[in-house]
Amino acid sequence: MLKPMNENYFCKPMTSNTLQKKIFLETYGCQMNEYDSELVRSILKKENFEFVVDELAADIVMLNTCAIREHAHRKVYGRVHSIRHARGQERPVMIGILGCMATNLRQDLLEDRSLKIDFIAGPDSYKRLPQLIQEASCDGQKSYDVTLSEFETYSDVYPSRQEGGVNAWLAVMRGCNNFCTFCVVPYTRGRERSRSPENIVDEVRRLAAEGFKQVTLLGQNVNSYCYDDHDFAYLMDEVSKVENIERIRFSSPHPKDFPDRFLDLMVANPKICKHIHLPLQAGNNRILDMMNRTYTNEDFLNLVDKIRTKIPNVALTTDVIVGFPTETDGEFEDTLEIVTRARFDSAFIFKYSERHGTIASKEYPDDVTEEIKTERIMQLNKIQKEITYQKNLAHVGETQTVLLEPYPEAKNKNLMPGRTDGNILVILPQGPYKGGDMIKVRITAATPHALKGQSV
């Protein structure tokens, strides 16, 4: 149960009517965090809080944080200082930290006097936000709830999404049971739990009625979705039956959960995009074992072959971590080799970053120097960039179906972005079409980052 850290018996928290209610919410990290921010908006709007786009006009600033890599974590500390600095002494603002950093670093955040955080809510405590804000409204009082739940899926909250969008994120499960040794997710987001297929399909129907054309089903380990006897293939099939939803994507799966049944469904079902994000993490078997990834590099390449045999036009993307503890030059070369052999369409490459509470942080000293990590990331990026460029070039001359995206006002008005089925960005000239339209596009040129095209 919640216990304010500095109980101040003379201060009476403001009531719901007297509380200042303008909120500025900033989101860091993954798509799941974007989705969680939409949940937070929905929960607080019901309590008459108002969301503003001008940080200086806000009474409360909330940062929805990510604890996956050090980069994200440092950014949040810097941000808190800059928010306080921008206000000065005269215009105080309440600051709340939400998300994975909240669970992971609660004690540090509350005890750091220079940060002066007012309230903290972990990923399973967003329904308590109105109360936490109210309790923190007394000077000097702090409130927090970072309890992890075995049941919370927010299936009763309809996220407050931006109007006029084309793609909607939708979390079908939360948490993770895999305990990869480098990863903080099982500690910050708790155990795996899934929403019922009926509840998810209801939300997708509502999205279709609002004009969304694409849904991206999200989970930390999305293809281990399981509700009663229903697996991820069943769920995808049910979602694809919703009229007016043209495309379905999913992120992020684990390579261990790709039954043939699911791949066969991907082939047979035109609404399921032929794109799989398949995180490799490392190409050396000793490192994969230390990471507790439960597959070898041979298993991974066999899976890549199987996927490409069944779905010849599939786009495969990946995540790789360089500089995991004790990784030698030779072992890193195994990663270069597997990446070269797998020929991913694109890759996110990260330097290993020790995360508080993980198995790796307790058992393996972070002994690869920053210099070596930088060298390895540059080497791998160079190889992958060339592969991506070659793969993009191979699309020149093809005709692809492109789902157009809404285009922010400020950008080049003569151009329009869209995505292929394989999720590659395509830029084409403006024409008699708009965000949300699916059009045929002839690919005319390629760069390492995108394709160019003309509507046909």
* Contact residues: ligand SAM, CB under 6 A: 68-69, 182-183, 185, 220-221, 252, 254, 279, 281, 319, 321, 350, 352-353, 355
CA neighbor of 304 nearest in space, from 319, 288, 315: 315
Of these partners, ligand SF4, ligand SAM, none, which one is at the site of residue 186 (CB under 5 to 8 Å by kind)? ligand SF4
- Span near ligand SF4 by CB under 6 A; candidates 174-182, 340-348, 413-421, 438-446: 174-182
Q: Is 436 in the site for ligand SF4 (CB under 6 A)?
A: no
Question: Strands 60-65 and 22-27: what pairing?
Answer: parallel
Q: Is 151 in the site for ligand SF4 (CB under 6 A)?
A: no
Torsion of CA 96, 98, 104, 107, to 10 degrees: 20
Other beta carbons within 10 angstroms of residue 310's beta carbon come to 13
Question: Strands 399-404 and 415-419: what pairing?
Answer: antiparallel
Tell me whether residue 319 or residue 437 sits nearer to ligand SAM (CB atom). Answer: 319
Tell me whether residue 68 or residue 136 sits nearer to ligand SAM (CB atom). Answer: 68
CA-to-CA separations, 59 to 136, 141, 384, in angstroms, rounded: 13, 16, 45
Q: Is 178 in the site for ligand SF4 (CB under 6 A)?
A: yes
Q: Is 221 in the site for ligand SF4 (CB under 6 A)?
A: yes
Tell me whether residue 70 or residue 231 sits nearer to ligand SAM (CB atom). Answer: 70
Tell me whether residue 151 or residue 348 sits nearer to ligand SAM (CB atom). Answer: 348
Q: Is 400 in the site for ligand SF4 (CB under 6 A)?
A: no
Of these partners, ligand SF4, ligand SAM, none, which one is at the site of residue 179 (CB under 5 to 8 Å by kind)? ligand SF4
Instruction: Provide the minimum distance between the beta carbon of 122 and ligand SF4 in the complex, in angstroms, as a whole number.
Output: 16
- How far is it, in rounded angstroms, from Cα 129 to Cα 159? 15
CA neighbor of 96 nearest in space, from 126, 71, 69: 126
Tell me whether residue 183 or residue 368 sits nearer to ligand SAM (CB atom). Answer: 183
Q: 148 φ, ψ to 5°? A: -95, 135
Burial of 321 (0-12, 13-18, 19+ CB in 10 A): buried
Instruction: Provide the minimum distance between the beta carbon of 255 and ligand SF4 in the complex, in angstroms, as a whole number.
Output: 10
Of these partners, ligand SF4, ligand SAM, none, which one is at the site of residue 304 (CB under 5 to 8 Å by kind)? none
Other beta carbons within 10 angstroms of residue 383's beta carbon come to 16
Return the DSSP state at 57: G
304 alpha-carbon distance from chain centroid: 23
Instruction: Provide the minimum distance between the beta carbon of 72 and ligand SF4 in the complex, in angstroms, as a whole number.
Output: 15
- Where does this chain bind ligand SF4 (CB under 6 A)? 176, 178-180, 183, 185-186, 220-221, 254
